[in-house]
Structure 1
Amino acid sequence: MKILLALTYYRPHVSGLTIYVERLAQALARRGHQVTILTSQYDRRLPRQECVAGVRIVRVPVVMRVSKGVIMPTIGLWATRLARSHDVLSIHLPQFDASGIALRGRLLRKPAILTYHCDLQLPPGWFNRVVDQVVFGANYTAALLADRIVAYTQDYADHSRLLSRFRHKIAVIPPPVVMPAPEPAALATFRQAHGLDGRPVIGFAARFAAEKGIEYLIHALPALLAQFPNLKVLFAGPYRDVLGEEAYWQRLAPLIERLGEHWSFVGTLAPEQLPAFFGNLDCLLVTSVNSTESFGLVQVEAMLCGTPVVATDLPGVRQPVRMTGMGEIVPPANSAALAEAVARVLRERARYVRPRAEIEQRFDLEATVTAYEALFQAEMRAKEQRR
């Protein structure tokens, strides 16, 4: 098959969405499909076109930004050209341009499959509320035009403002998760490099963004430090100059600085470094506060490295812990409950850990890719039968 995947941001931008699409695209390419990414040239230093791991990447120039979104005047030209030469359109939301791409699928009689990664919820402010509504309208139109819509979990689909209106189109496909088992030598090297010997360690793996609820971890730390005086927080992921999050960083940076050596930023880690990061944690936190988080791939990645998770009780986000029993679920935006749950996990860590094989049975990259292939092929056949 010739498969076009469209999304606003792609690698090297770091987010759960970009990692998801990168894994899916490269796995499809390994299976012999011709895969093209249509995305934004959000950084002018990035090449307009390149091929990475067998995947062709086409980046459309950006003329301006609107909050976290981008304006690309020539996206329509590229979408038309690429839609004509591909068999199926895989459109990843939230994305302002999704409706236009889905319309091209309808006009060209090509299957348009949406993957709905999360709701959009921008920071407070009248302008961002307008942007929210515009993007919701575009996503809603795309959903009307699409043949099928992929959701991570039924739990999230049932509670999503948009997905709950299109239940008849929903196909639930678990997200693609890849995480090698940590090697003892790499674990020891990472532990020594970050001074973790003899200390309880809790981790955070995300962009430094308001929807991640990082302040609730900060506010929970005094209670945790009273019980675990040498506790260490490791934050993995981009934290300075994150698009749209500059004010959030400026507000929290002084609070983090006061924590001194109890908080360390390790930056954006390369894939080969992640097993050692997750494997050195006693607990991973996912403290997201709204529906912009629909699952949290890092939860399963940590579990595959033997690390329990404390996650907030949000649709979709609570599912990995529910499915595996490997952690605790807490109310969102509740520092006291977060501190209590983390303390329980740190004290009784062994009772939360499950065998790696048990986690692998539930989350498997190849099963995810096979499900996408089957969905694409079924919709292609349906289009042919209607001609």
Structure 2
Amino acid sequence: MRLLIALTYYRPYTSGLTIYVERLARAMVRRGHSVTVLTSQHDPNLPLREEIEGVHVVRAPVMARISKGVIMPTFGRLASALAAEHDVMNLHLPQFETPGLALRGRLRRMPVVLTYHCDVKLVPTLANRAANAAVDLANNIGAILATAIVTYTQDYADHSPYLSRYHSKVRIIPPPVEMPQVDDLEIGAFAQRWDIRGPVIGMVARLAAEKGVEVLLRALPRILQVYPDAKVMFAGTYKNVLGEQAYAQRLQPMLEQHKERWIFLGNLSQRDLAAFYPNCSMVVVPSLNSTEAFGLVQVESMLSGTPSIASALPGVRQAVHQTGMGEVVPIGDSDALAAAIIRVIRNRDQYVQPREVIAARYNTDKTVEEYEKLFAELVYRKTGEPLQPELSGS
């Protein structure tokens, strides 16, 4: 099968969406499929074309930016050429280019599968209101033209105003989650490198408004009353996050107040994350709105034996509900978050499930198998012919 995947940002840009697509693309290649990723050249230093672990990456130069969106004059030409060379199109939303991509797929009678990762809710400036309207329009045109729409959980699908309009096209496929296993020596070396002593509250995210960093900051004084040696360790991009400079400035006074108890680790490799999670008492996902649809990091932490505390957002709360490995707290409630953190520190062992229990529910192979089944069904529905034998991974 020849699969064309399109999204606005791809690796090395780091977000839950880019990690999802990277895992999906690589796994499809490992199973014998040809995969091309069409994306933006968000960093002008990146090559326009390259192959990464068997995945063909094609980048369109960026002429201008509108908030987090990009304008790429050559994108349409590239999309037309690539659509002619592939069997199935998988578009990852949100992205402005969805209508043009989906229309090209429809004209070529190829299945077009949208993967809907989250809503877009930018800070309400004049420019952002225009960007929100453009994304909403693009998403709706894409949904009308699409053959199917994938999302992570039924919980999110049921509560999303967008997905509920197209419920007959929605398919639920759990996200791809990977986490290497490391030994006690690596875990101990990580603890020594970062001088870890006392309870650690882990957070893995970009420093972005939807992540609810301020909820944790406001919870911290109450936690420190009970556990004065506790600290927050924040893994992920925290400097010059695209579109989040004003948010970072607003947080700066609180971050300065807690600078002795709040440690920024920067971006960690998967192996470093695998050593980081077991050093945490728990990982928190205090996200504030539907721009967060799941929170892959909480399943990564569970695979490492570390509980999660998640906000009660549709989709985000599902990992805890399905595994019992943590707690769910009201959205934006710092007092409830503090209380849950204290409970988990005191009773951590009661929240832990064996790795194999988590891995049976969430793993990349399961995700890819579900995508393969969906693609095969849609190709057969369009052409009356099955996909080629590589579908089985042979």
State the TM-score bracket (shorter-chain normalisation). Answer: over 0.9
Q: Which amino acid aligns with 1:315?
A: P
Q: How does 1:1-387 map to 2 (within 5 A)?
A: 1-197=1-197, 199-385=198-384
Distance (whole Å) between structure 2 residues aligned to residue 65 and residue 322 of structure 1: 39
Shift of residue 185 of structure 1?
Answer: 0.7
Distance (whole Å) between structure 1 residues aligned to residue 89 and residue 133 of structure 2: 25
Shift of residue 195 of structure 1?
Answer: 1.0
Shift of residue 123 of structure 1?
Answer: 1.2
Distance (whole Å) between structure 1 residues aligned to residue 316 and residue 102 of structure 2: 28
Distance (whole Å) between structure 2 residues aligned to residue 58 and residue 71 of structure 1: 16
Shift of residue 147 of structure 1?
Answer: 0.2
Shift of residue 3 of structure 1?
Answer: 0.4
**Do the aligned partners of 1:20 and 1:176 also contact (CA within 8 Å) in 2?**
yes
Q: Which amino acid aligns with 2:283?
A: L
Distance (whole Å) between structure 2 residues aligned to residue 352 and residue 385 of structure 1: 49
State the Cα RMSD in Å: 0.9
Shift of residue 334 of structure 1?
Answer: 1.0
Query: Which segments of 5 or more consecutive residues in structure 2 lack a partner in the other structure?
Result: 386-394
Q: For each residue in 1:11-44, what CA deviation from the matched residue of structure 2 results, as whole angstroms up to 9, or x when unmatched?
A: 0000000000000000000111110000000110
Distance (whole Å) between structure 1 residues aligned to residue 125 and residue 40 of structure 2: 25
Q: Which amino acid aligns with 2:259?
A: G
Shift of residue 254 of structure 1?
Answer: 2.7
Q: Which amino acid aligns with 2:149?
A: I
**Do the aligned partners of 1:182 and 1:279 also contact (CA within 8 Å) in 2?**
no
Q: Which amino acid aligns with 2:138?
A: A
Q: Which amino acid aligns with 2:20?
A: Y
Shift of residue 265 of structure 1?
Answer: 0.5
Q: What stretches of structure 1 move > 3 A for 4+ residues in a row?
A: none
Q: For each residue in 1:213-249, what CA deviation from the matched residue of structure 2 results, as whole angstroms up to 9, or x when unmatched?
A: 1001001100000000000110000000000001111
Shift of residue 170 of structure 1?
Answer: 0.8
Distance (whole Å) between structure 2 residues aligned to residue 224 and residue 259 of structure 1: 12
Distance (whole Å) between structure 2 residues aligned to residue 243 and residue 40 of structure 1: 14
Shift of residue 297 of structure 1?
Answer: 0.3
**Do the aligned partners of 2:302 and 2:358 also contact (CA within 8 Å) in 1?**
yes
Distance (whole Å) between structure 2 residues aligned to residue 260 and residue 295 of structure 1: 29
Q: Which amino acid aligns with 2:373?
A: A
The alignment partner of 1:118 has SS state of coil
**Do the aligned partners of 1:187 and 1:280 also contact (CA within 8 Å) in 2?**
yes
**Do the aligned partners of 1:11 and 1:18 also contact (CA within 8 Å) in 2?**
yes
Distance (whole Å) between structure 2 residues aligned to residue 292 and residue 102 of structure 1: 23
The alignment partner of 1:261 has SS state of coil
Shift of residue 74 of structure 1?
Answer: 1.3
**Do the aligned partners of 2:182 and 2:271 also contact (CA within 8 Å) in 1?**
no
Aligned residues: 385
Deviates more, 1:302-311 or 1:180-189: 180-189
**Do the aligned partners of 1:111 and 1:383 also contact (CA within 8 Å) in 2?**
yes
Q: TM-score, normalised by structure 2?
A: 0.96
Q: Which amino acid aligns with 1:286?
A: V
Shift of residue 127 of structure 1?
Answer: 2.4
Distance (whole Å) between structure 2 residues aligned to residue 298 and residue 260 of structure 1: 24
Distance (whole Å) between structure 1 residues aligned to residue 219 and residue 126 of structure 2: 31
Distance (whole Å) between structure 1 residues aligned to residue 313 and residue 218 of structure 2: 20
Shift of residue 103 of structure 1?
Answer: 0.6
**Do the aligned partners of 2:200 and 2:280 also contact (CA within 8 Å) in 1?**
yes
Deviates more, 1:23-32 or 1:257-266: 257-266
Higher relative contact order (CA 8 A, sep 6+): 2
Identity %: 55
The alignment partner of 1:239 has SS state of coil
Q: TM-score, normalised by structure 1?
A: 0.98
Shift of residue 385 of structure 1?
Answer: 3.3
Distance (whole Å) between structure 2 residues aligned to residue 68 and residue 174 of structure 1: 26
The alignment partner of 2:175 has SS state of coil
Query: Which segments of 5 or more consecutive residues in structure 1 lack a partner in the other structure?
Result: none
Distance (whole Å) between structure 1 residues aligned to residue 38 and residue 253 of structure 2: 39
Q: Which amino acid aligns with 1:336?
A: D
Q: Which amino acid aligns with 2:28?
A: L
Show the counterpart of 2:388: none
